[in-house]
């Protein structure tokens, strides 16, 4: 077990081996991987550890339904989760299972189609009949056509898990500094030699950028095109109710995850809002297919965000950066949408009849045009590795994604093939001179 007094927020060192930018689950995963191998690292977080997506997500740690080219890394991530759950104490990690229910034949077919990947990767998964779904949910009307369940899938409490991992990384030797925005990179002859933060410079051999939705802003200031946009997603939690199953329940109207406090985290996958920023116009072409695919669930809006810090580019190490202008992105939840989602949840899952809404929140999801992460060395900026664009499923993948990024930074054997995560899939890139 971890020593209870391990804490973060150390003095900012002037030199280290690797600087990690961003204290979400990916950056913390990278720092932990390095620290456990005795490699000096400093993690800089502009606000607080897990202040953005990594404490605001639903908490699902699933292999079920993932794209096949993400499964090898997810299996590694799953192993890290299980080890950490043993080593760092209560983070709400439970192998309670993940289940998705189908309301249409087309949804049922998608679940059935995915079964071949379950077989290929030996993931324990099986289809559910309508009667089995009724039994799981406490219904008796065959409302669902059936479903799919993966009993070895898991979930954790995001608000507990990532800060606990960060404390564990410090216990293992990492330095973690909050309220420390990295403004830009230090470079000599094009190669990264460290970072410029708002508190001074840190020299380093390599830098891992795990900046979530801010990664594009950071990279485009360096002249590296990064087609990533922020999509606002809202969620809520309920008062405690009598449990009916250990499994999460997913359906197109509403998805729910049992919480450690006895309530449920409730949301609707794919229901999201895109607040237009200048990069949205620049990268519009790349995002057109995904916007079209999700046109019924995605609202596009032009508001004050257009002129906000996420949209800013071009500053240098002496300027106040956009990252200091917004310590924590804390967008307003879409309350009307959440009322609708909660009503659906109570209709779909009768055991929620007496649940009350307790808290609502929102966060910006860092989406790539193909909804797959980038975990890659930036060829035009030697010494820089990016691990970002988790596209709404990076909580489960985060420990593995962070470890892979750390391995790329220090040229160690990767725990999974990095090929699916290359930035070059979006075309050739370039970088401004150092
Ligand atoms: C409502 C919702 C539900 C979700 N549900 C799930 C789920 O059930 N399962 C799942 O797997 N995923 C889920 N996700 C996605 C998941 O939360 C994210 O993919 C994951 O948390 C991303 O982690 P990250 O470390 O990449 O980014 P973040 O958690 O966003 O962290 C990035 C950090 O970098 C910091 N930063 C950025 N730039 C700088 C800088 N220049 N200097 C210093 N610090 C900087 C930011 O302040 C931030 O703290 C969900 C997301 C949302 C919003």
Which residue has the least CA distance to atom 12 on ligand 1?
Answer: 393
Decide if 1 is inside a domain. no
Q: Which of 304-318, 340-354, 373-387 has the lowest mean pLDDT?
A: 304-318
Other C-beta atoms within 10 Å of 140: how many? 10
State how far the Cα of 64 lies from the Cα of 269, in Å rounded to an integer. 14
Whether the predicted pLDDT of 362 surpasses 90: yes
DSSP 8-class letter at 138: T
Q: What b-and-e string marks burial along 370-395, b requiring 16 or more CB atoms within 10 Å of the CB? A: bbbbbbbbbebbebbbbbbbbbbbbb
Q: Is 233 in the pocket of ligand 1 (CB under 6 A)?
A: yes
User: What number is the average pLDDT over the span 129-143?
Assistant: 97
pLDDT of residue 432: 43
Q: Is 266 in the pocket of ligand 1 (CB under 6 A)?
A: no
338 Cα distance to chain centroid: 21
pLDDT of residue 296: 66
Local confidence band at 280 (pLDDT 50, 70, 90 cut-offs): confident
Instruction: Specify the ligand 1 atom closest to the Cα of 364.
Output: 53
pLDDT of residue 84: 98
Task: Give bridge partners of residue 255 from the DSSP assignment.
Answer: 267
Decide if 384 is inside a domain. yes
**H or E stretch including 294?**
none
Closest CA to 387 of 374, 400, 397: 374
Domain of residue 406, residue span: 18-97+152-426
Give the distance (Å) from ligand 1 centre to CA of residue 432: 27
Local confidence band at 430 (pLDDT 50, 70, 90 cut-offs): low
Residue with tokens 């995001």: 158
Decide if 417 is inside a domain. yes
pLDDT of residue 433: 42
Q: Is 65 in the pocket of ligand 1 (CB under 6 A)?
A: no
Give the distance (Å) from ligand 1 centre to CA of residue 398: 9
Instruction: Specify the ligand 1 atom closest to the Cα of 218.
Output: 41
State how far the Cα of 18 lies from the Cα of 40, in Å rounded to an integer. 7
Domain with residue 213: its CATH number is: 3.50.50.60
pLDDT of residue 340: 96
- What tokens appear for 98 in the block? 């993940």
Give the distance (Å) from ligand 1 centre to CA of residue 108: 30
Decide if 144 is inside a domain. no
Specify whether the CB–CB gap between 68 and 117 falls below 8 A: yes
pLDDT of residue 1: 46
Decide if 142 is inside a domain. no
Q: Is 60 in the pocket of ligand 1 (CB under 6 A)?
A: yes
**Count of domains in the chain?**
1
Local confidence band at 294 (pLDDT 50, 70, 90 cut-offs): confident
pTM (two decimals): 0.95
Which residue has the least CA distance to atom 26 on ligand 1?
Answer: 212
Decide if 220 is inside a domain. yes
pLDDT of residue 293: 77
Decide if 145 is inside a domain. no
User: What number is the average pLDDT over the span 268-272?
Assistant: 81
Average pLDDT in the chain: 92
Give the distance (Å) from ligand 1 centre to CA of residue 45: 12
- What tokens appear for 245 in the block? 């199953």
Using left for φ > 0, alpha for ψ between -120 and 50, and beta otherwise, residue 392 falls in left
Specify whether the CB–CB gap between 136 and 148 falls below 8 A: no
Decide if 433 is inside a domain. no
Whether the predicted pLDDT of 312 surpasses 80: no
Q: Is 25 in the pocket of ligand 1 (CB under 6 A)?
A: yes
Whether the predicted pLDDT of 119 surpasses 80: yes
pLDDT of residue 285: 79
Which residue has the least CA distance to atom 14 on ligand 1?
Answer: 392
Task: Give bridge partners of residue 197 from the DSSP assignment.
Answer: 182, 200
């Amino acid at each position: 077990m971890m020593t209870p007094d391990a804490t973060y927020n150390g003095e900012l060192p002037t030199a280290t081996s690797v600087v990690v930018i961003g204290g979400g689950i990916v950056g913390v995963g990278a720092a932990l991987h390095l620290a456990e191998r005795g490699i000096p690292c400093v993690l800089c977080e502009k606000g607080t550890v897990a202040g953005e997506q990594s404490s605001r997500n639903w908490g699902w740690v699933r292999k079920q339904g993932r794209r096949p080219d993400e499964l090898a890394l997810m299996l590694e991530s799953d192993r890290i989760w299980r080890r950490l759950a043993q080593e760092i104490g209560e983070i709400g990690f439970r192998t309670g299972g993940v289940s998705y229910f189908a309301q249409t034949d087309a949804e049922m077919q998608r679940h059935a189609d995915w079964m071949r990947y379950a077989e290929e990767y030996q993931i324990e998964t099986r289809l559910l009949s309508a009667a089995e779904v009724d039994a799981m949910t406490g219904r008796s009307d065959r409302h669902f056509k059936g479903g799919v369940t993966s009993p070895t899938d898991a979930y954790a409490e995001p608000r507990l898990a990532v800060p606990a991992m960060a404390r564990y990384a410090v216990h293992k030797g990492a330095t973690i500094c909050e309220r420390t925005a990295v403004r830009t990179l230090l470079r000599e002859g094009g190669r990264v030699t460290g970072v410029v933060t708002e508190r001074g410079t840190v020299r380093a051999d390599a830098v891992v950028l795990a900046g979530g939705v801010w990664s594009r802003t950071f990279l485009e200031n360096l002249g590296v095109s990064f087609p990533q946009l922020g999509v606002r997603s809202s969620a809520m939690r309920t008062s405690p109710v009598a449990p009916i199953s250990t499994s999460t329940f997913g359906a197109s109207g509403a998805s729910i995850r049992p919480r450690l406090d006895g309530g449920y985290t409730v949301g609707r996958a794919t229901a999201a809002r895109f607040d237009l920023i200048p990069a949205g116009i620049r990268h519009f072409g790349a995002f057109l297919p995904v916007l079209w695919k999700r046109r019924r669930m995605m609202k596009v809006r032009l508001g004050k965000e257009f002129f906000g810090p996420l949209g800013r580019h071009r500053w240098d190490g002496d300027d106040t950066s956009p990252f200091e202008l917004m310590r924590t992105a804390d967008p307003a939840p879409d309350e009307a949408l959440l009322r609708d989602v909660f009503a659906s949840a109570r209709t779909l899952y009768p055991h929620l009849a007496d649940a009350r809404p307790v808290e609502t929140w929102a966060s910006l999801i860092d989406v790539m045009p193909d909804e797959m992460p980038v975990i890659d060395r930036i060829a035009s900026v030697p010494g820089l590795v990016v691990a970002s664009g988790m596209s709404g499923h990076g909580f489960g993948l985060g420990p593995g994604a962070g470890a892979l990024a750390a391995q790329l930074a220090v040229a160690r054997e990767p725990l999974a093939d990095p090929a699916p995560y290359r930035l070059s899939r979006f075309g050739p890139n370039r970088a401004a001179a150092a």
